[in-house]
Structure formats: structure tokens, C-alpha cells
Chain A
Amino acid sequence: MQAWHFTEMPYPHLPPLDDIPSIRVTLPNKYFDPKIGADLYNRYLDEHVIADELGLNIMLNEHHQTATCLDAAAPLMAAILARQTKNARICILGNPIANRGDPIRVAEEMAMIDCISRGRLDVGIVRGVPYEIFAANTNPTQTLERLWEGVDLVVKAWTSHDGPFNFEGRFTHKRAVNIWPRPYQQPHPQIWITGSSDKENIKKVASLGYVFATFLQPYDKVKEMFDTYRANYVDRGLPTGGGVAYMPLVYTGDSDEEAEKGAQELTWYLKSKTAAQFRNPPGYVPVATNVKALQGAYSGRTDAVRGQGLDYLREQGVLVYGTPDSVAQQVKRFYRLVGGFDHLLMMQQSGFLDHKRTVRSMTLFAREVYPQIRDLPRTVAQEARASA
């Protein structure tokens, strides 16, 4: 079991959340104080360096136009940490390739960071969440197709070594691709793809030998996803192998009371609102899903989850909190409930959770929880076939 520290790097010093119609896309940046922002960026980077010192891996993500995430360019953070850390694997989860528009820039930047870190990079490539469509102005009806054309082009750029190739695809046209540098890891860094309910997507990820990751989902849904992955996994000889990854919110405390307080802070992340018109741009989900939406199947659901208490979230496996032994038990329980998993991605900081408590939680996890779960076996199929 690999353990990864993560924070979305929020800027929480905002008007009351209930007064904000939408924290994403439209919240004016007059609420961003650059001096506070500067402190936050440097503090979050400090915490990632501490993660490395504690023996944890590092996960980064990228979001745009939102106070929930100040990391608007994951490659920048990854590059800083490639230089400042020694042992941690660094996973960008992920490059929003459909929104970014230029897969070759992604290929180049990832190759650079892979070299600078001497092969410690894992490359997530994602479709991008619905509300980010508006910042990037990508066509919302083609994000899946753009994602896969982008992945294929990145892999081709990484693995072509004999001079330029051209590419005239549906979404990208290049006349002479010949990236310098090329990646450190061979044949190329492991690719991680995120998802939830789209089974076809999961099958594709598994058959390519990539890692599949999902976040903050109840365990019964996660088991379905991971079972689909395992049934379709093909070992393609990629570094660090395939597998499945899950992210809960995680707080490890010295006492039950302290852990509960920390867990409460983490739920800030679940409380942020996004205005209705940004949550489901046309064509992002299939027609059948939109029919259900028109029928009213999903109204009030997000609010219902938002209103749930800590116990409910802990029972579902979305929130892991307690003393170290309790946290270890919860992880093992989740492991059993989902048929096993390989990567524990931990949102260990959110909202107003300050530096002192974040570091304490990380330290307790690294020293007293991780040793109890480190040996949980990797779960990809034993009878994995060799790459074609």
C-alpha cells in the first residue's frame, strides 16, 4: 500500500460560505489577498517537503478559478517539489489535458520533471471536472474524446525517439513533434486516470495497464469500480505497475476529541457550493443521465450529502479520522470492503486546518498508522499477462 499526502491548497479566508452563490468560476479574485496567498503557497509547499521527510508520497492536483484550489498549474508545483524532495514519488492527478489544449506541452513538461526528479514522477491525465469547462472554454461535449486523443499523443511523444512525427488528429494538429527531453522512466512514466461511474472508461484504463483513481465515493460504489478494473487489467510493463487508488479525507489525532475537531475542519471541502449552471454543462454526461436530471433524480442530492455528519461520512469511507490505531482499522476495513486497493491518497489538509495540526496529523499517520497498513498487498490480478 502506497500512501500519498494531498491538499487542494485552498484559500479559505472568504465571506461566509452560505453567502457565496458559487465558490467556483465566478468568485471575484478581490477576495484573494496576495500576501496571504503567498504565505499559503509557501506553507503548503513546506508541508509537501515534510511529507517527503516522513516517508510519504506526494499527490498534486490542478484547478482553475476557484478558492478551493490555489494550484492552477500542477506542473509548477511538481517541478518545485522535484527539486526540493529526495524520495517521495510525485503524482500529478492530473493534467487536465482536454482543457489544456496542447498535449505536447504536457508531454514536454512531464518529461522535464521526470528527469529533474530522477524518475519519481507519476503522470495523471484527466478529463477535467465539469465546472472547469468554463475557465478553459473547451467544448463540453467532447471532453472524453479529447482526453483519449491527448493521452495517445502524449504517449507517442514520449516513446518516439527517431525524429519528428506529424499528427493531424481530431483536436490537435502538429507538424513536427520531437520532444527534448524525453522521460527519465522507461518506457514512460506510469499514467493515472481518474473516474467514477463510467465502466467503459475504467475497462479502458485497466486494459492499458494504467492506474485508476477515484475520490470521496462510498465504499459500495468503489468496490464496483475496482472490481471492473481488476477484471480488465493488463500488465503493460509500466514503471510501478498498475493498480487502483482511493482518496478519502484523513485526519489522525492524538485523541478522539482532537481527531474529531480536525475531521470537522476537513469537511470544509465538502461544503463549498458551485452554482447550478456550472455543475453540468451540456454533453458532459450522457443523454440518459441528463434525462434523469430533467426528471429530478438528482435534485437536492448534493445538499443532502453536504448536510451529513462525521459519523455517516466515516461509515461510508469518505472521511477517515481518529487516533492512529482507529485510522489504521478504518483503512483496513475499507480495504476489505472494496476488495483491496493499492494507493491511499489522503486529503490531510482542507479549509482552515492550520499548519501545526496538519503536520501533527501527517506525522502521526506516517509514524503510527502507515507501518500498520504498508504491507497490505497490491491487488492487480496475479495472472496478469505480459505487455504485448
Chain B
Amino acid sequence: MPTAETKKMHVTVSGMKIELERRGRGKPLLLLYGEEALETEAPFLDELAQEYELLIPSPPGFGTSERPDWITNVDDIAYVYLDLVEKLGITKAPVLGFSLGGWIAAEMATKDDSFISRLVLVAPYGIKVSGPTERDIQDIWTLNPKELMALKWFDPEKGKRDFPSMPEEKLAVIARNSESLARFCWEPYMHNPKLKHRLHRIKAPTLLIWGDNDGLVKTDYGKAYRDLIPGAAIRFVPNAGHLPHIEQPRTFMEHLRDFLK
């Protein structure tokens, strides 16, 4: 349960209701969570909420956001979020995106990053740099579930979730999130072939953060991503997989604070 004060609401943009959580107090920070939304329950987020008012939207099809049929990929979501930023009147704020959320943030930034003071991408998806028969991003949908956990987590115990103990409402969100991820990211798999040709447009100072032991998307991919964004830097988190903010929150927060100040 979050300790900071939190408010959930819906904002209508692009003809759809988007769920928005406002958590904490201070200057606004746009936080785009990952496909499993684990960030919303992680301790580091409450810490961050002491220093910023976190604006945490749910993409179409995630949380309780609507999902119109015409939304078919992350590029579409980026435009919806740009509408949201305008509607909320955000003129200058840091943007922090995790995994799928990082991909969405990168897409937004290539279109209009005038509202972004600093851009932080934590193990984002979104580009493909290798050849047709190589995977930059391991296939979450064909891997054996145990294998997938071992790739994603330095300590798979940290990733275990007790679904039968969760309320039905929460399970419905989890199931729908999983469905929406497939709706938007199935093919091309977890990337936009155009994105790598657009990243040069990003003007906002950008930091990538990557777990040393991310087996789902390796650090080399992170470096390639960094190379495509002018002036971008990358920081690594030892003993962490795809979710360094959950496995090593202290190191993660150090990198983050360093960059945001």
C-alpha cells in the first residue's frame, strides 16, 4: 500500500478515458510504469513520491483505461499521452519510463519533447538493432515461464507473485494488462521498426538505467539505444535484472537522483 497520499481519476483524451494516479507532493514527474505495473507497488516509488508529485497514467487497455479498437501499437499510445500531457498542463517535468513505459516515453520524446526537462529510460523496449534471426529481446510469449523468470530477475524469488491470494478486481487488471501488451506488442515483436530512425530528434537530456544481469534485454542493447540518442548516458546496476528499481532500489535511486538534480 502506498504511504504517500494518492488519488485515482480518469482523464478523457483522444476520445477515451485514461486512468491517472496522482501520488505524492512536489513538482510534477511523469511516471510511465512497465507492462506488469509492478512499479506502482514498489517501495522506491513511495520514496520518490516524497520529492515529486508523481503523475502515473495507465496506457489504453491497462489498469482501468479504455482501449478503443483503433489503438494498435505503442506509437498510437504516445500520441494519446501527448494529449494527456497537454490536458494536464505539464510544461516542464522529468519523465521516467520503465520497460514498456520507457518505450512509450521514447516515442513521445521523438514527437515532442518540449515538456520534458529530463528523460530517464529504465530498460526500455522499442528498437531492433540485430538481424532477422537474432533476438534483441527474448520472446516472453514462447519461453517456458521458469526460464523467463530466470532471465528477467537476478533473484527470481523477488519476482514471484501469489495470484490466488489477490482480489478478483486486481486479477482482472493483470489479465487485461497481459492481453493489451499482446495487442500492441505482438508483431513487430516489442519494437517499432521506425523508432531507431527517430531517436536522433530527442533534445532532452537522457539517461538510461540498466540492470547488469538483465537477461531479457541485455546491456549491449542498452548501449545501442544510448548511442542513438544525442548526448545520452547509461548507468548500470549490479546484481539486478530487468527491474533494477525493484531489485536494487538504493543504487537505482542514487543514479536517478544524481541525474535529476
Contacts and interface: CB of A to CB of B under 8 A. Distances in A.
For B145, B183, B186, B187, which residue has the most chain A Cβ atoms within 10 angstroms? B186
A296 B163 CA distance: 8
B186 A291 contact: no
Given A291-B172, A294-B171, A282 B179 contact: yes
A373 B6 CA distance: 69
A277 B178 CA distance: 13
Contacts of A283: 178-179, 182-183
Contacts of B171: 291, 294-295
Interface in A266-302: 275-278, 281-283, 287-288, 290-291, 294-296
B187 A290 contact: no
Interface residues of A, number: 24
A142 interface: yes
Interface stretch (B11-19, B41-49, B136-144): B136-144
Contact of B175 (A26, A142, A290): A290
Interface in B126-147: 141-145
A356 interface: no
Per DSSP, chain B at the interface is helix
B176 A287 contact: yes
Contacts of A291: 168, 171-172, 175
A35 interface: no
Contacts of A29: none
B175 A287 contact: yes
B175 A139 contact: no
Contacts, number: 64
Contacts of A281: 141, 182
B145 A287 contact: no
Interface string A104-144: 00000000000000000000000000000010010111100
Contacts of A277: 141-145
For A25, A26, A283, A295, which residue has the most chain B Cβ atoms within 10 angstroms? A283
Contacts of A278: 142
B174 interface: yes
A294 B142 contact: no
Contact of A282 (B172, B178, B187): B178
Nearest to B61: A141
A170 B183 CA distance: 14
A137 B187 CA distance: 8
A290 B182 contact: no
B175 A134 contact: no
Contacts of A25: 142
Given A277-B144, A296-B164, A142 B183 contact: yes
For B141, B145, B179, which residue has the most chain A Cβ atoms within 10 angstroms? B179
Given A139-B186, A140-B186, A287 B172 contact: yes
B163 A276 contact: no
Given A139-B187, A295-B171, A276 B144 contact: yes
B144 A141 contact: no
Nearest to B72: A139
A296 B193 CA distance: 38
B69 interface: yes
Interface in A7-46: 21, 25-26
B182 A294 contact: no
B175 A294 contact: yes
B37 interface: no
A134 B176 CA distance: 20
B168 A276 contact: no
B181 interface: yes
B178 A290 contact: yes
Interface string B155-185: 0000000011010100110111011111100
A26 B143 CA distance: 11
B142 A141 contact: no
Given A137-B186, A141-B180, A281-B182, 18 more contacts: A140-B182, A140-B186, A141-B183, A141-B186, A276-B145, A277-B141, A277-B142, A277-B144, A282-B181, A283-B178, A283-B182, A283-B183, A287-B176, A290-B175, A291-B171, A291-B175, A294-B166, A294-B174
Interface of A: 21, 25-26, 134, 137, 139-142, 170, 275-278, 281-283, 287-288, 290-291, 294-296
Shortest beta-carbon contacts, A-B, top 5:
A290-B175, A283-B179, A282-B182, A294-B163, A141-B183
